[in-house]
């Protein structure tokens, strides 16, 4: 059994049984344990229980204290304030627990799997074909990837879906334009791939859009093209396929730069649901969920109204027979629930699409596709802002290309690495520069709760001081260097040794990795993990300042401190991996 009961759980259990021994009607009640500045843990639950039992809280607390089993885990427990319990954990228990985590050879640090894992389909990293990726796509990819790692770590079955924008009116427009202007992607362009080809496609897209918006006749021809596409016309489909293939090459190059694994089989774009669209509409109409209104198939909501007070429907099928974004998403729900057997559908999508998802989910509920057993939710993220606090734009007012941004981050990070580099080769500097730069971008994104906007500030992101990934990467590299320097001395736990305050604080925090990961996964909140890791690195820094490691007073002390160092390093490494961030051995 590799999984380890965390100290907080052990303390919790002991307090809960003392509580039910004292007050039988409180059996099963939560003692409400928290980490505390005053003691190792504080339990606040007695206040409410005393109120219910019409007892004096301090008296009740004192009776509970007399029932607490002390010795192995709890060294001391006392009443404080109006009836709190302050708990001190035995040094031996701290070291012992960490030793059990250290001995887990699965690399999980004794973290248990969730009690009843399910199947989650997560929709993230969904750029659009024939368009360059921008910062919004960055957030979905970075947050989604971390949530995937967190969920899989808890034992959840995760199905990834990259719902790329590869269908709809814009492709009719694009294909028609290219047919009419074949020279605009001539043979010279056909030779280039990846970023450059994408920039050509992006240019083509913009030119096509301009014509579409200004020329009614072109608009009509483009619309006819969509019908051809959806009906499977061979020539039209071949052109469409060319756009998709070209774009995918580009997506893969960006995801590789982001150090993120995206698998082709998981890319199921809007076009993947084409064969389901008509049936989705039929089912919705049959069930009475959708109704015809001015030729379109619509779903109405009491609480969704436009500025004029008129209800704004979700349009599932347009009056010209075309299907849009909503029809695709509703079909994707059917696929995910009935074919992929998901019990949770998670959408990592910009908060500006929240109304769309609210209406789509409500429609699916009315249709019975979502219910108490299958839930859907949007993990909505905020906007990336520039240093000026306005939505991130170039000086020319255009959206910032994601690749440019990543390149700049890598360049800045490489400068930082080079400046600090002692024994690194040029090749190593380039490799670490990429790991630090991409780590910095991911960490900045993950360390604010997703629903909030955040400022994209490269200076701050690659700073060595403060809540940044570089700070954590340096902490890790420093520990690894100490372990290398230790020579003959090895990390060995000595539970019999008394711990200093700095060691206790570090040890208790390291032990809380399991709870943190469980909470971050359950709440889809990677920022809880970043906060934990930052705190871990800070506690390590104060431990390192106060407690000599290789020069400690006894060989056992040296071994035990090396052990604390290594537990910290492994926890940092695991935690960062769950964020999609590398921890280089040397920096
Ligand atoms: N491609 C869309 C965009 O760039 C995001 C897709 C989100 N997922 C979904 N199932 N609608 O905005």
Residue 59 belongs to domain with CATH number: 3.30.1360.70
Same domain, 69 and 213: no
Same domain, 481 and 567: yes
DSSP string of 116-128, one letter each residue: S--EEEEE----B
Asked if residue 297 is part of any domain, the answer here is yes
Closest CA relative to residue 301, chosen from 317, 293, 292, 290 = 290
Distance 128 CA to ligand 1 centre (A): 8
Distance 230 CA to ligand 1 centre (A): 20
Instruction: Let me know: does 119 contact 94? Beta carbons within 8 Å.
Output: no
Q: Give percent above pLDDT 90 in the chain.
A: 79
Asked if residue 244 is part of any domain, the answer here is yes
* Ligand 1 atom at minimum distance from 353 CA: 12
Query: In degrees rounded to 5, what are phi and psi of residue 189?
Result: -65, -30
Q: How confident is the model at residue 257 (pLDDT cuts 50, 70, 90)?
A: very high
Same domain, 128 and 48: no
Tell me: ipTM over 0.95: yes
pLDDT at 346: 98
Q: Which of 129, 130, 165 most suits a substitution to test ligand 1, by most atoms within 8 Å of the C-beta? A: 165
pLDDT at 300: 96
> What are 579's two structure tokens?
């964020």
Query: In degrees rounded to 5, what are phi and psi of residue 401?
Result: -75, 135
* Nearest CA owner, ligand 1 atom 11: 329
Convert the pLDDT of each residue in 260-293 to its tens digit: 999 999 999 999 999 999 999 999 999 999 999 9
Pocket of ligand 1 (CB under 6 A): 123, 126, 128, 163, 165, 329, 347, 349
Distance 270 CA to ligand 1 centre (A): 9
What is the average pLDDT across 165-169?
90
The domain boundary residue, chosen from 268, 299, 316:
268
Total domains, the chain: 4
Same domain, 368 and 494: no
Asked if residue 584 is part of any domain, the answer here is no
The domain boundary residue, chosen from 268, 299, 328:
268
Cβ-proximal residues to 450 (8 Å cutoff; 6+ apart), any chain: 139, 143, 348, 379, 380, 381, 382, 524, 525, 526, 527
Same domain, 213 and 130: yes
What is the average pLDDT across 512-519?
97
**3-state class (DSSP) for residue 178:** helix
Same domain, 366 and 412: no
Distance 177 CA to ligand 1 centre (A): 24
Convert the pLDDT of each residue in 452-488 to its tens digit: 998 889 989 999 888 999 999 999 999 999 999 998 9
- Cα-based torsion angle of the residue sequence 221, 222, 228, 234 in order, rounded to the nearest 10 degrees: 100
Residue 179 has pLDDT above 80, yes or no: yes
Same domain, 432 and 346: no
DSSP string of 433-452, one letter each residue: HHHHHHHHHHHHHHTS-TTS
Closest CA relative to residue 61, chosen from 41, 91, 81 = 81
Asked if residue 111 is part of any domain, the answer here is no
Same domain, 475 and 547: yes
pLDDT at 170: 87
Q: Which of 133, 136, 244, 349 most suits a substitution to test ligand 1, by most atoms within 8 Å of the C-beta? A: 349
Convert the pLDDT of each residue in 321-355 to its tens digit: 888 899 999 999 999 999 999 999 999 999 999 99
Residue 1 has pLDDT above 70, yes or no: no
pLDDT at 184: 80
Same domain, 434 and 479: yes
DSSP string of 347-403, one letter each residue: EEEEGGGHHHHHHHHHHHHHTTSS-SSSEEEEEEE--EE-TTSSBPB-TTSPBPBHH
Asked if residue 118 is part of any domain, the answer here is no
Q: How confident is the model at residue 308 (pLDDT cuts 50, 70, 90)?
A: confident
Same domain, 414 and 563: yes
Residue 189 has pLDDT above 60, yes or no: no
DSSP state at residue 553: S
The domain boundary residue, chosen from 325, 359, 375:
375
pTM check: above 0.90: yes
Report which secondary-structure segment, H or E, holds 163. none
Same domain, 30 and 132: no
pLDDT at 186: 61
Asked if residue 103 is part of any domain, the answer here is no
Residue 196 has pLDDT above 80, yes or no: no
Convert the pLDDT of each residue in 353-376 to its tens digit: 999 999 999 999 999 999 999 999
Same domain, 530 and 444: yes
Asked if residue 113 is part of any domain, the answer here is no
Distance 444 CA to ligand 1 centre (A): 22
pLDDT at 422: 75
- Using CA atoms, how far residue 73 sits from 14, 28, 441, 546, in Å, is 9, 21, 41, 25
Convert the pLDDT of each residue in 531-543 to its tens digit: 999 999 999 999 9
pLDDT at 353: 96
Convert the pLDDT of each residue in 9-21 to its tens digit: 999 999 999 999 9
pLDDT at 193: 67
Closest CA relative to residue 65, chosen from 52, 46, 48, 51 = 46
Convert the pLDDT of each residue in 44-71 to its tens digit: 999 988 888 898 999 999 999 999 989 8
Q: Which of 125, 144, 163, 267 most suits a substitution to test ligand 1, by most atoms within 8 Å of the C-beta? A: 163
Q: How far is CA 231 from the centre of its chain?
A: 38
**3-state class (DSSP) for residue 158:** strand
C-alpha to C-alpha distance for 161 and 124, rounded to whole angstroms: 7
Query: What is the extent of the structural domain holding 303?
Result: 284-375
What is the average pLDDT across 216-222?
95
- Cα-based torsion angle of the residue sequence 67, 71, 74, 79 in order, rounded to the nearest 10 degrees: 40
C-alpha to C-alpha distance for 519 and 513, rounded to whole angstroms: 10
Instruction: Let me know: does 90 contact 75? Beta carbons within 8 Å.
Output: yes
pLDDT at 245: 93
pLDDT at 190: 55
Asked if residue 381 is part of any domain, the answer here is no
What rounded mean pLDDT belongs to the chain? 93
Residue 80 has pLDDT above 90, yes or no: yes
The CATH number of the domain where 464 resides is what?
1.10.730.10
Distance 282 CA to ligand 1 centre (A): 24
């Amino acid at each position: 059994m590799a999984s380890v009961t965390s100290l907080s759980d052990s303390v919790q259990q002991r307090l809960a049984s003392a509580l039910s021994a004292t007050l039988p009607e409180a059996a099963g009640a939560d003692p409400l344990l928290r980490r505390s500045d005053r003691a190792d843990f504080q339990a606040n639950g007695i206040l409410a229980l005393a109120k219910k039992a019409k007892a004096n809280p301090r008296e009740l607390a004192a009776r509970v204290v007399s029932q607490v089993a002390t010795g192995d885990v709890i060294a001391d427990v006392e009443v404080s304030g109006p009836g709190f319990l302050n708990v001190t954990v035995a040094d031996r228990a701290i070291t012992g627990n960490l030793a059990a985590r250290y001995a887990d050879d699965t690399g999980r640090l004794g973290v248990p799997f969730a009690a009843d894992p399910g199947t989650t389909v997560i929709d993230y990293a969904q750029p659009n074909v024939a368009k360059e990726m921008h910062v919004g796509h960055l957030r979905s990819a970075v947050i989604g990837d971390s949530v995937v790692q967190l969920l899989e770590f808890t034992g959840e079955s995760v199905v990834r879906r990259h719902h790329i924008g590869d269908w709809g009116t814009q492709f009719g427009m694009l294909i028609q334009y290219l047919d009419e202007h074949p020279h605009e992607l001539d043979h010279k362009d056909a030779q280039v791939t990846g970023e450059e080809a994408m920039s050509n496609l992006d240019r083509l897209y913009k030119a096509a859009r301009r014509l579409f918006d200004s020329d009614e006749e072109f608009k009509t021809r483009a619309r006819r093209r969509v019908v051809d596409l959806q009906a499977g016309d061979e020539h039209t489909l071949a052109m469409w396929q060319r756009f998709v293939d070209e774009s995918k090459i580009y997506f893969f190059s960006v995801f590789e730069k982001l150090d993120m694994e995206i698998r082709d089989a998981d890319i199921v774009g809007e076009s993947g649901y084409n064969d389901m669209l008509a049936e989705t509409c039929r089912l919705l109409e049959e069930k009475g969920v959708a109704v015809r209104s001015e030729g379109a198939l619509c779903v109405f909501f009491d609480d969704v109204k436009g500025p004029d007070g008129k209800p704004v429907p979700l349009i599932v099928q347009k009056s010209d027979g075309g299907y849009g974004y909503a029809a695709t998403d509703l079909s994707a729900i059917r696929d995910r629930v009935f074919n992929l057997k998901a019990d949770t559908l998670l959408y990592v999508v910009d908060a500006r699409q929240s109304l769309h998802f609210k209406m789509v989910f409500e429609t699916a509920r009315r249709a019975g596709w979502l219910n108490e057993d299958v839930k859907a939710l949007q993990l909505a993220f905020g906007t990336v802002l520039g240093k000026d606090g306005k939505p991130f734009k170039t000086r020319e007012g255009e959206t910032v290309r994601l690749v440019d941004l990543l390149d700049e981050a890598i360049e800045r990070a490489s400068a930082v690495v080079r400046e600090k580099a002692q024994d690194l080769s040029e090749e190593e500097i380039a490799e670490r520069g990429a790991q630090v730069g991409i780590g910095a971008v991911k960490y900045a994104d993950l360390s604010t709760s997703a629903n909030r906007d955040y400022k994209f500030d490269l200076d701050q992101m690659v700073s060595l001081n403060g809540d940044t990934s570089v700070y954590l990467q340096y902490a890790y590299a420093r520990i690894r260097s100490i372990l290398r320097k230790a020579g003959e001395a090895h990390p060995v736990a000595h539970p019999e040794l008394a711990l200093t305050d700095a060691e206790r604080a570090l040890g208790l925090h390291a032990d809380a990795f399991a709870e943190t990961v469980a909470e971050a996964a359950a709440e889809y909140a990677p920022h809880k993990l970043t906060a934990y890791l930052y705190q871990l690195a800070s506690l390590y820094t104060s431990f390192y300042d106060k407690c000599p490691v290789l020069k400690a007073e006894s060989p056992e002390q040296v071994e035990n401190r090396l052990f604390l160092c290594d537990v910290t390093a492994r926890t940092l490494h695991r935690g960062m991996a769950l964020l999609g961030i590398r921890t280089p051995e040397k920096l």
